[in-house]
Amino acid sequence: MSDSNTKNRHSGEIAETEERKHSIDLSTNSILDTTGLNDEDRKHLQIKANEAKINLQKKAQEANIDIQATKVNLDNLNDTVKASTLDGTSITVTHTQSTSIGRTEIVMGNTERAASGKISRSGAGLEDISTTLIVGVGIIAIIIVLIMVIGGA
């Protein structure tokens, strides 16, 4: 190999090393060019990128734990429904949970209610409005009776 080829090959390696020195790997597919930044800003950005990777790994681990816990809950509820069915008893099981992967609403059982797959308002985390409805209808009924009595007098 000639001296000029060796020199070109080494200068290419130096340029590539310099280029890597001024970039940050943000993921497996993305690299951020930091050529225009000073060393302090580059280091700060590298720290932020590393913190983001750690947070992402932490969230992935939390999601994995939540998925495993949801599976255990589903298996337990399913076993309970199977046992009740074998015993000849009726059962409707509802379960709701909110985790890092989202909200899960479960309805299982061997009853018509379970077959409908509908969660009650309280099971869905909503306020029970039946008392409010009864009071509202009662007030409206009293107003109608008063109007009829006063209007007839």
Matching residue, tokens 């000073």: 38
User: Cα separation of 12 and 6, whole Å?
Assistant: 10
Answer whether residue 137 is part of any domain: yes
Answer whether residue 61 is part of any domain: no
Answer whether residue 142 is part of any domain: yes
pLDDT in tens, 34-48: 888 888 988 898 899
Q: Which of 1-5, 66-70, 71-75, 95-99 is predicted with the least confidence, judged by mean pLDDT?
A: 1-5
Model pTM? 0.53
Answer whether residue 65 is part of any domain: no
Answer whether residue 37 is part of any domain: no
Number of separate domains in the chain: 1
Range of the domain at 142: 127-153
Answer whether residue 147 is part of any domain: yes
Residue 26 has, within 13 A of its CA and on its CB side, a CA count of 8
